[in-house]
Amino acid sequence: MNGINKIVSSGRLVEQAALRYTPAGIPVIEFSLAHESMQMEAGAERQVQCEMHCICLGSKALELARLNAGCEILVKGFLAAKNRRWPAHLLLHVTDWQPAQVS
């Protein structure tokens, strides 16, 4: 099965857990991202607000750990179940991020 699972979103860093390391020594950080925007749906504008639970590994996790709450960032990644026990609980796995462009 080869499906598309790509997410691009922006938001404000709400909170982040302490940087930790996997048993293999890979840096990991979990964080929440608050998103607000206006979107078109069925020909009408709709205000969208949500909070996403995210995880980031590797060198990007090290960089993200240096940010303060309130920073606006753009993230790219994919969705996966948080764990096998609760497959409907989604976690955004961030593979890349950058500071958001403020307009």
Residues whose CB is less than 8 angstroms from the CB of residue 71 and which lie 6 or more positions away in sequence, other chains included: 12, 13, 99
The mean pLDDT of 3-7, rounded to a whole number, is 94
pLDDT band at residue 83, thresholds of 50, 70 and 90? confident
The mean pLDDT of 20-25, rounded to a whole number, is 97
CA 84 to chain centre: 20
pLDDT in tens, 36-59: 999 999 999 999 999 999 999 999
- Please give the backbone phi and psi of residue 62, each rounded to the nearest 5 degrees, phi first: -60, -45
Task: Indicate whether 1 belongs to any domain.
Answer: no
Task: Indicate whether 70 belongs to any domain.
Answer: yes
Domain tally, the chain: 1
Task: Indicate whether 63 belongs to any domain.
Answer: yes
Q: Which domain holds residue 42?
A: 7-99
Task: Indicate whether 89 belongs to any domain.
Answer: yes
Q: What is the pLDDT of residue 103?
A: 53
- Please give the backbone phi and psi of residue 94, each rounded to the nearest 5 degrees, phi first: -85, 120
AA identity, residue 16: Q
Task: Indicate whether 2 belongs to any domain.
Answer: no
pLDDT of residue 70 exceeding 70? yes
Q: Is 95 left (phi over 0), alpha (psi -120 to 50) or beta?
A: alpha
Residue 11 has which token pair? 């938001």
CATH number for the domain harbouring residue 68 = 2.40.50.140
Model pTM? 0.89
pLDDT band at residue 88, thresholds of 50, 70 and 90? confident
The mean pLDDT of 70-86, rounded to a whole number, is 92
Q: What is the pLDDT of residue 102?
A: 59
Residue 82 has which token pair? 């948080």
